[in-house]
Amino acid sequence: MEDERWQVVLRIVDSPRFSKSSRLSQLLLYLAEKTLLEHAALLNEQSIAIEVFERGDDFNPGVDTIVRSHMVRLRQRLEQYASDSPGGNFRVTVPKGEYIVRFDRTSPAAPNLAELPPISQPTPGLPSVTAKVSLRTRWVTNPLFLPCCLLSLIVVGLCLALWSVHHRSQRPAPPLSHPLWSRIFQPARSTTFVAADNGLVLLHWMTRKDTTLAEYLDHNFNQELQGFPRERADEIRSIANRRYTSFVDLNLFRHIQQLPFASLDRLIVKYARDLRMDELKQGNIILSGARGANPWVELYEPQMNFYGSNDGVHHVYSFINRRPQPGEPDRYFASDSDPERHVLGVLAFISNLDRNGNALVVEGNSMAGTEAITDFLFNDDTLLPFLNRLKRPDGTLPHFEVLVESNSVNGNAGPFHILSYRTHP
Q: Do residues 331 and 321 lie in contact, with contact meaning Cβ atoms separated by under 8 Å?
A: yes
Q: Do residues 349 and 356 lie in contact, with contact meaning Cβ atoms separated by under 8 Å?
A: no
pLDDT at 187: 84
pLDDT at 349: 97
Could you tell me which residue, 89 or 290, shows the higher pLDDT? 290
SS3 state of residue 294: coil
| Domain 4-105 CATH (choose: 1.10.10, 3.15.10, 3.30.43, 1.20.144) | 1.10.10
Confidence check: pLDDT of 289 > 80:
yes
pLDDT at 184: 94
Confidence check: pLDDT of 322 > 90:
yes
- 398: which strand partners? none
What value does the mean pLDDT take over residues 202-209? 88
Q: How sure is the predictor about 127, in pLDDT bands with cuts at 50, 70 and 90?
A: very low
Confidence check: pLDDT of 421 > 90:
yes
With a pLDDT cut of 70, the percent of the chain lying above it is 78
Residue 134 has, within 13 A of its CA and on its CB side, a CA count of 5
Q: How sure is the predictor about 361, in pLDDT bands with cuts at 50, 70 and 90?
A: very high
Pick from 181, 15, 5, 163: which is nearest to 93 by CA? 5
Taking only the tens place, the pLDDT of each residue in 42-78 is: 888 888 988 888 888 888 877 778 888 889 889 988 9
SS3 state of residue 317: strand
| Burial class (CB within 10 angstroms; exposed 0-12, middle 13-18, buried 19+) of 233 | middle
Q: Do residues 316 and 370 lie in contact, with contact meaning Cβ atoms separated by under 8 Å?
A: no
Dihedral class, residue 229 (left if φ above 0, else alpha if ψ from -120 to 50, else beta) = beta
Ranking 28-32, 63-67, 123-127, 287-291 by mean pLDDT, the lowest is 123-127
Q: How far apart are CA 269 and CA 261, in angstroms?
A: 17
Q: How many CB atoms lie within 10 A of CB 2?
A: 5
pLDDT at 107: 62
Q: Do residues 79 and 24 lie in contact, with contact meaning Cβ atoms separated by under 8 Å?
A: no
Confidence check: pLDDT of 340 > 70:
no
For the chain, the structural domain boundaries read 4-105, 181-197+245-423
Taking only the tens place, the pLDDT of each residue in 241-264 is: 888 888 888 889 989 988 888 877
H helices within 245-342, ranges in order?
247-257
